[in-house]
Structure 1
Amino acid sequence: MAQKPTLPKGTRDFTPSEVVKRNYIFEIVKKHFAAFGFQPIETPSFENSETLMGKYGDEGDRLIFKILNSGDYLNKVDDTTYGKRDSNLLTSHISEKALRYDLTVPFARYVVMHQNELDFPFKRYQIQPVWRADRPQKGRFREFFQCDADVVGANSLLQEVELVQLYDAVFTDLGLTGVTIKLNNRKVLAGIAEVIGAKDHLIDFTVALDKLDKIGEEGVKKEMIEKGISQEAIVKAAPLFTMSGSNTDQLFALKELLKESEEGSKGVEELSFIVETLDELGLQSAALKLDVTLARGLNYYTGAIFEVAAPEKVKLGSIGGGGRYDDLTGIFGLKDVSGVGISFGLDRIYLVLEELNLFPKAIDQSLDVLCVNFGEKEALASLKLVGKLRKMGVKADFYPTTAKMQKQMKYANNRNVPYVVLIGEQELANNSFVVKDMAKGEQYTFGLDAPEEFVENL
C-alpha cells in the first residue's frame, strides 16, 4: 500500500475558499499600494547565500533555508573539513544559495543592480512568498507571503508618516478596527544603551528588550545578564520596562532620559515629528502608540521602527512591521541611499479577519449561475447561454453530464450557487430559460435571445 502523503511542517494547502479570501486581501493591499504611488517588482525565490547571510543577525541567519548544491555536493568537501563535523563550515562547501528570508534585503540588492534604471526616490511594492526555518505555531509558518512597500532615495520623515497612513488606509478598507501601530526609533535604543553604559552590547540589549511582552521583565533581565550586560546598566534601564502614558508623556520622559546622548536626542526628535504630524493629519481606524521596548531583532534598522499589533480581542502576534534602513544598500556597495519600508503579514491578517468574521458574506460565491444538463440538444442551448452570460461579466458554468437532477442540484448547493438555470424540451420549444432562485425557491422565465433582462435583475 502506498504511503499516505504529508506536508512539510509549517506549510499549507489552500482550499478554493481560502485562496479567494487571500486574494481579497491581496487586491485591497495592491489597490492602496498603487494609490500611494508604489510600483510593483518581483525578485527570485532564492538568492546567493552571501546576499542574505549576515543581514538579519545571528537569530535570523539560523532561520534561513539553505539550498544544497546540485549534483554530488559532497564531492568537493575535503576529508579534513568533513571530519570536523562543523555544520557552519560544511555549509559553505555544499550550499551556495538560499531561499529568501524576507523581501527587503533582496530589494536592496535589486536597487544596487538596477540603480541606473531607477528614478529616485523609488517607491516599490512587492508581494511574494518568503521562507523561514522557524518553529511552526498559530500564525507562524515556514512558508508565507509578505506584502512590502518601500521608498529608497530620500530621507524625509514624511515617508514614515505616509507609511503609517498606508497601514491605516488598508486596515480601514478591510474593516479592521482596533489595530495598534507601535512606533520606536533605533537611535533612541542606541541612546539608551549609551546612557546606561551598555553601548558595546547594543544588539544584545535590543534583542532582549524586544522580548519584554513575551518573557516579562525578569526574563529580559536574565537574558541581558547572560549576554554580559552589567547589573548596573540593567538597573538604569529599569524605567523602560514600565514606561507608559500618552505619546506626548513618553516623548517628554525620553527627552529627559537621553539629553546627554546626541544620537538618542536625534531619535526623540524624529519620533516627535512623526507623532505630531500624524496628530495633525489624523488616522481613520488605527492607533499610533510609542513603545520604547520595540526593537525588532533585525540589524539593518537605523531610524524609525514599526510593528502592527492586531486588535486585543484577537490573541495573535504582530500583523505587520518595518522601519528605516539608511545604510542597507551600502552592504552591496551603494552608499548614501536612504530607505524606509513596511510589510503586511498576509497570513496573520487573514486569521484576524476570519476570527472577527470580517470577510464579505458573498466572498465564497464562486459561481453566479449553474445551467443544469438535461440532454444533448438542451446542453448546446445552455452552452450558448453560458457564453452570453460570461461576456456580460456573470460567473456562469454548465454541469457537464446528464446526471440525475438531485445530484446536479446538490452540486449547485455545495458550490453556493444563487441561481440555477433550467433549459428542458419545453424551454427549447419556447426559446426560453427558467431561472430558479435558490434562496427564495422561486422560478422566473426569460427569453434565450434576451438574457440581459435576467442579468439586470441579478
Structure 2
Amino acid sequence: MKMDNSPARGTRDLLPAAVATRDRVLGLIQDVYRRFGYQRIETPALERIERLTGGQGGENEKLLFRVLRRGLDEQLPAGPLADLVDLGLRYDLTVPLTRFYSQYRAELPQPFRSFQFGPVWRAERPQKGRYRQFYQCDIDLLGEPSVLAEAELIEATTEALAAVGLTGTEVRLSDRRFLAALASAAGVPDEATGGFFVTVDKLDKIGWEGVERELVDGRGLPSAVVTSARDAIGALTDLPAVKVADVLADAVPALPDAVAEDLATTAACLAALPGDVRWSFDPTLVRGMGYYTGQIFEVSHPDSAGSIAGGGRYDELVGRSLGTEVPACGFSIGFERIVDLVAADAPGERVAVLFDADVPVERALAVARRLRAERGGVVSPVRRGGKFAAQLGRLESWGFTGFVPVRADDADLPDVRPLRRD
C-alpha cells in the first residue's frame, strides 16, 4: 500500500522560498522589538493540562489537543478523559508566559519585556487561512501598571508592521471595563453581559440589523435595552483624542474616572505616532479571550479580512500562578496573516558551481569556497547531469541566478554566467 505523503490535516509544509520570506519578516519584526528592549524567550510546546484548562483561554480551551499519559496500553482504561491525560499542546503563548514569569520572576528584570515566537496548536476545522498548527509572534510587558505599557506595545507593534512593509494600518482601541459599564448602563443583566458582547462583536459581519435580531430573538434582551446600547455606542464613534475622556464620562456616567483618563492618555499617545498609522476608539471591540481586564486593541489592514494584530491588559492572569497580582499587557501579531500580505522575497544572487563528473570533489569545494569569499552570497556545488540546457532550467527553477562551469582540464576559474532559459 502506498503511504499518503501529505501533511496532517490542518497543517502544511513550507517550501524554501516560503521559509525565506518568513525568516525575513521575523527578522525585521525582531529587530524592531529588540530596539524597544524586548528580550526573546522560549517556552515548551507542552504544558500541564490543568494550566491549559484553567479558564484562562476562553473558547480556545475547547480547541485543545490533549496528550495521553505515558504507559497507557492500546486498550484505554475506563474512566473520565481527565484521568487519561496530563499534558496538552499550547493554544497560545500567553498562558505559557505566565507560568514562565511565575517560575523565573526573581531572575528577570522588572518590568519584564518579553518577546516570543513559536508554533501553537488548536483543533480548528481546517479551512482557508485557518490551520491547526500556526505561528504566533507576541510581545508582553509584565510589571508595568500604567498605560505606558499599552502605549509602548502599540507603538512597537505598529513600527514592526511598518518595517515589514505594511502601511495603511488602523489601531482600534477599547476597554473591557468600559464595555461592562456600557452594558450595565443600557440595562443588560449581569448574567447576559458576556453573550451581549459576543453578539456586538459580530457587528462588522452582520450589521446592526443582524445584531439586534440576535440580541432580541436569540438572547431574549428587551428591544429597549438593545436600542439604548446602540445609541450609546453610536455616540462614541470617531472620537478625537482630546475628547475621549469627556465623551466617555458623559455617555457612561458609571465609568470610573481613572478608566476614562487612561483611555484618553493612550489615545493621545496614538495620535502622536509618526507615519500613516490611523487609530479610532471602537466601542464594539470585544476580543474573545477571557483573561482581559482593561484596555484591548486590534490592528486592521485594508487588504486583510480580519485583524492582523491584537492584545490587551490581563492583570489577573499571572496572579493565578504566582499568588501575587502582577500587572501585565500583551500584543500578538497574526504572523500567518501578515506573511500572506507581504511580497515574496526577490531571490538574491545564488551561484551553482556546475562541475563535471571527473572533477575531484575537493576542487569543486575549493571553487565554491573561493567564490563565496570573493562575491559573497550563496554558492553551492552541483554535479553535472543530463542535458545541459535542461539542467540550467532546473537550476533556475530552484532559485539559482548564475553558474560557473568547472571542467577537469580548466586552468583558470571561468566567470559567473547568468542563467537564462532558452
- What TM-score does the superposition give when structure 2 sets the normalisation length? 0.90
1:156 aligns with 2:171: no
Residues in 1 aligned to 2:368 and 2:12: alpha-carbon distance in whole angstroms: 34
Tell me the equivalent position of 1:135: 125
Task: Give the Cα separation in 1 of the matches to 2:381 and 2:369.
Answer: 10
SS at match of 2:414: strand
Aligned match of 1:101: 91
Please list, as runs of the form range in 1=range in 2, the aligned pairs for 1:3-42 lying within 5 A after superposition: 3-42=3-42
Q: What is the CA–CA distance in structure 2 between the aligned matches of 1:165 and 1:183, rounded to whole Å?
A: 13
Q: Which of residues 138, 147, 150 is equivalent to 2:137? A: 147
AA of the residue aligned to 1:72: D
Does residue 1:255 correspond to 2:249, yes or no? yes
The 1-side partners of 2:365 and 2:114 are apart by 44
Aligned equivalents of 1:275 and 1:409: distance in 2? 57
Task: Give the aligned residue type for 1:343.
Answer: S
Aligned pair in 2 of structure 1 residues 399, 259: CA closer, same or farther (>3 Å)? same
1:252 deviates by: 4.5
Partner of 2:203: 212
- Answer whether contact 1:176 1:285 (CA < 8 A) is retained: no
Contact 1:165 1:283 (C-alpha < 8 Å) held by counterparts:
no
Consecutive unaligned residues in structure 2, runs of 5 or more: none
Give CA deviations for 1:59-98 in whole Å, capped at 9, x if unaligned. 22212222233313875534xxxxxxxxxxx321222222
1:268 partnered with 2:257: no
Q: Tell me whether 183-192 or 220-229 shows the greater mean CA deviation.
A: 220-229
Alpha-carbon spacing, 1:307–1:275, altered in 2? closer, same or farther (3 Å) = same
Is the Cα–Cα contact under 8 Å of residues 310 and 352 in structure 1 kept in the other structure? no
Q: 1:102 to 1:73 in 2, by over 3 A?
A: farther
Query: What RMSD over aligned residues (CA atoms) do the two structures have, in Å?
Result: 2.5
Is residue 184–residue 305 contact of structure 1 (8 Å, CA) maintained in 2?
A: yes
Q: Which amino acid aligns with 1:344?
A: I
CA distance in 1, matches of 2:2, 2:360: 43
Aligned to 1:326: 315
- Pick the aligned partner of 1:419 from 402, 408, 413: 402
Tell me, yes or no, if the aligned pair for 1:128 and 1:145 is still in contact at 8 Å: yes
Residue 160 of structure 1: how far off its partner (Å): 1.2
* Alpha-carbon distance between aligned partners in 2 of 1:241 and 1:45, rounded to the nearest angstrom: 41
Q: Which sits farther off after the overlay, 341-350 or 371-380? A: 371-380
Structure 2: distance between partners of 1:240 and 1:95: 47
After TM superposition, give the deviation of residue 267 of structure 1 in Å.
Answer: 2.6
Name the amino acid aligned to 1:292. P
* Aligned twin of 1:395: 378
- Structure 1 pair 47/223, CA: closer, same or farther in 2 (3 Å)? farther
Q: 1:308 aligns with which of 299, 318, 326?
A: 299
Change beyond 3 A, Cα 1:203–1:74: farther
Partner of 1:72: 73
- Percent identical across equivalent pairs? 32
Q: Take 1:58 and 1:405, find their aligned partners in 2: how far apart are those partners?
A: 59
SS of 1:7's equivalent in the other structure is coil
Structure 1: distance between partners of 2:94 and 2:220: 31
Tell me, yes or no, if the aligned pair for 1:46 and 1:99 is still in contact at 8 Å: yes
User: What SS does the aligned partner of 1:292 have?
Assistant: coil
Mapping for residues 51-450 of structure 1, pairs under 5 Å: 51-56=51-56, 59-70=59-70, 71-72=72-73, 75-78=76-79, 90-198=80-188, 200=190, 201-225=192-216, 226-227=218-219, 229-240=221-232, 242=234, 243-248=236-241, 252-262=246-256, 265-280=257-272, 282-311=273-302, 314-353=303-342, 358-362=343-347, 365=348, 368-377=350-359, 380-391=362-373, 393-424=376-407, 428-429=410-411, 431-438=412-419
**Which letter maps to 1:245?**
D
Alpha-carbon deviations, 1:155-189, whole Å to 9, x = none? Answer: 12112111111122112211111111111111111
Q: Closer, same or farther in 2 for the Cα pair 1:15/1:75, shift >3 Å?
A: closer
Contact 1:187 1:266 in 2 (8 A): no
How many Å separate the matches in 1 of 2:260 and 2:6? 51
Asked whether the equivalents of residues 237 and 283 of structure 2 are also in contact (C-alpha less than 8 Å), the reply is: no
- Return 338-347 or 43-52, whichever deviates more: 43-52
CA spacing shift, 1:419–1:156, aligned 2, 3 Å: same
19-28 vs 200-209, which deviates more? 200-209
In terms of mean alpha carbon deviation, does 416-425 or 12-21 score higher? 416-425
Q: Deviations over 1:249-281 (max 9, x none)?
A: 66544231112332xx4332211101112323x
Matched-pair contact (CA < 8 Å) for 1:56–1:297? no
- Go from structure 1 to structure 2 and tell me whether the alpha carbon gap of 1:251 and 1:137 turns closer, same or farther (over 3 Å shift): farther
Deviation, structure 1 residue 111: 0.9
SS of residue paired to 2:416: strand
Contact 2:393–2:421 (CA under 8 A) maintained in structure 1: no
Cα 1:227/1:266, change in 2 over 3 Å: farther
Gaps in structure 1 of 5+ consecutive residues: 79-89, 442-458
Letter in 2 for 1:273: T
Looking at structure 2, the residues matched to 261 and 434 of structure 1 have their Cα atoms a distance apart, in angstroms, of 74
Contact 1:399–1:408, Cα closer than 8 Å, also in 2: no
Inter-CA distance 274–329: structure 2 relative to 1 (3 Å threshold): same
Q: Aligned partners of 1:152 and 1:329: how far apart in 2?
A: 9
TM-fit CA distance, 1:190: 1.5
How many residues are paired up?
416
